[in-house]
Amino acid sequence: MSRKAFTLIELLVVIAIIALLMGILMPSLRKARKQARMVACRSNLKHWGLIFSMYADDNDGKYYRAWTNTVEGVEWIGCTRPYYKNPKINFCPEATKVVGENTSGTKPIARNEAWGRFPETDTRTGYPGMAGSYGINCWVGNPAEATNLGGLIGDPSMYWVRPTDKGAGRAPLFSDSMWLGGMPMENDAPPTADNGSGGTGMMQRYCIDRHSGYINAVFVDYSVGKVGLKELWTLKWNTRFNTGGPWTEAGHVQPENWPEWMRGFKD
């Protein structure tokens, strides 16, 4: 006995049902993938917390020398290299695309791009071949070891020197970033675009829409968590950072003062 075949109408109905189910499931799948990448990003930063803690443990409980305007570059890149082997932990899973060899200090354009790659001819410790999508808070460091105090930004007392410093749990150490480091201040204006461009100062390097209104960060005391983009102005980037500045609730920011892309995010 021959089996009855599908009619054209029945086949079209089946296709329509499959398309409907896909339309229902795809947003949930995309959301699940983004959540999985956010968890993976946080896992990377937990590894970085361990790396920084091992370095501090090996150096009298203190961080590397503070950043100064010299040719040595940002210190974390060189001093952490002996503590890890897998370069994949340099990248947030939402930003793994390296745009090319970086010789001029330019940053990536899109929020899903990484900074670097620094050329193999770079003479700074740890820089050759380096790329990533996380950045340090350059207010973390030991001014006592700085080789050029004349190039030190601010006062030495503004820097986070140890993970045990009072208030370290509200001080970012390492986070999602469009560059390898920065020194945010309370008066920095937020970027006008979600890729961290168009603002003032260095807060814009961290104010990027990598995780649906959040970034991930490991703090100076090695705790890890997500940070709302508007919350960035309430953290203690340096020991004297004014959390009651113009972009916090204490500064009475009006909703319309935030860039349009940020207005719907949680305060």
Q: Is residue 120 part of a domain?
A: yes
Question: What pLDDT was estimated at residue 104?
Answer: 61
Asked whether residue 19 is domain-assigned, the answer is no
Identify the pLDDT of residue 73. 72
Domain range for 83 is: 45-262
Total Cβ atoms within 10 A of residue 76: 27
Give the torsion sign (CA, 174, 178, 179, 182): negative
**Token duo for residue 213:** 């209104």
Tokens of 94: 């939402």
Q: What is the pLDDT of residue 255?
A: 73
Q: Within a domain: residue 27? A: no
Q: Is residue 149 part of a domain?
A: yes
The answer to whether position 17 is within a domain reads no
Residue 35 lies in a domain: no
Q: How far apart are the first and last CA of the chain?
A: 69
Residue 87 is assigned to a structural domain of this protein: yes
Q: How many domains does the chain have?
A: 1
Residue 1 included in any domain: no
What is the pLDDT tens value at each position of the chain, 267 positions in all? 455 666 777 677 778 788 777 777 666 556 678 788 889 999 999 999 999 999 999 999 999 988 876 666 788 999 999 999 999 999 999 999 998 776 665 678 888 999 989 988 888 889 999 999 999 999 999 988 766 666 788 889 999 999 999 999 999 999 999 999 999 999 999 999 999 999 999 999 999 999 999 999 999 999 999 999 999 999 999 999 999 888 987 666 777 889 999 998 887
Three-state secondary structure string covering the chain: CCCCCCCHHHHHHHHHHHHHHHHHHHHHHHHHHHHHHHHHHHHHHHHHHHHHHHHHHCCCCCCCECCECCCCCCHHHHHCHHHCCCHHHHCCCCCCEECCCCCCCCCCCCCCEEEECCCCCCCCCCCCCCEECEEEECCECEHHHCCCHHHECCCHHHCECCCCCCCHHHCEEEEECCCCEECCCCCCCCCCCCCCCCCCCCHHHCCCCCCCCEEEEEECCCCEEEEECHHHHHCCCCCCCCCCCCCCHHHCCCHHHCCHHHCCCCC
